[in-house]
Amino acid sequence: MKLFYRFAGISVLTFLAGMHCASATEYPLPPENSRLIGENTTWVVPDDRQPLESVAKKYKVGLLGLLEANPGTDPWLPKPGTQLTIPAQMLLPDTKREGIVVNVAELRLYYYPKDENKVIVYPIGIGQLGANTPAMVTSISQKIPNPTWTPTPNIRKRYAAEGKSLPVTVPAGPDNPMGLYALRLAYGKQHYLIHGTNADFGIGMRVSSGCIRLRPDDIEALFNSVPKGTRVQIINQPVKYAVEPDGKRYLEVHQPLSHSENDDPQTMPIALTAAAKKFINSDASDRAVIKAAIERRAGMPVLVNEGEKVTGDSPVPVNEAQRDPAALKGNAAPITKAGKGSA
């Protein structure tokens, strides 16, 4: 089953490297003409027989994001001594920097606190195949502590097809798949929420029934920070790109969301906007590096030029190790088990 196969910058305020207990990842907000934030770091897998999710949770990243950055890694039992790249560097989505921005393609939520010069990034779980989280521009209509869960008719149908029966309402508490906090969105019939979870697995994956899921600590922090009425935008941008103030050109490619169980997100075509095509076809872009980045789909920014200055001066050399196409090769390992039954 290929559904789950989809699976240097400004310094991070909350440093990831060497931390024993990570909190929400906060980045200084770059100027409007810049989108590159954060720095990648590394982690050596200890001999503790813990799944890859334990590393993802420790560093506040999504599971599939780790697999994109570290192809071939066993998600259930990563090999001790393996050095993993923690994908903490990224490009901000190409959209308005206000309120909450969710990019389903990269399985991340960006929160821009009002009148604060920072952005907070959370890994998320989104709707599984057949229960896609739709694109929208909306707002938070209700903040719900200790939510109950009332499955919709469509959710009941999906469960019934698997021979499972759901109660009319799941009460608040440890058995509620919505966790302890929920933010209701004003979109449509207001069935979509940003909420927590009672599961230890599924953040950074397509496992929900259409809602946006965060880890318990993350939803608590977001719930306590976001006021009712906050703007929420949900987008689908598997390809992000930027020309930074120093002239360096970056491309960040994620595996696109599957449309059917027969799709292979590592090889399926990625639709490009006219602006993305213009960026790719520019004489300032290295076509070979871009081709390799699109094939590799590492989910991390890749430098695709020599770092020429925007002033028109001669190009400034950039460390060749940052743009070696050979470093972009590899394929992500599939996850073949689906965690269904979530809100």
* 211 has catalytic annotation: yes
* 21 has catalytic annotation: no
- The DSSP annotation for 35-80 comes to -EE---EEEEPPSS---HHHHHHHTT--HHHHHHHSTT--SSSPPT
Tabulate helix, strand, coil % of the chain (nearest 5). 20, 25, 60
Active-site pick, 20, 21, 191, 195: 195
Site of tokens 């880890």: 215
Task: For residue 276, give the H/E element and its range.
Answer: helix 274-281
Q: Which of 180, 313, 295 is nearest to 247 (CA)?
A: 313
Active-site pick, 20, 21, 191, 211: 211
> Buried b / exposed e across 244-270, counting CB within 10 Å, b at 16+?
beebbbbbbbbbbbbeeeebebbebee
Residues classed as catalytic: 195, 211
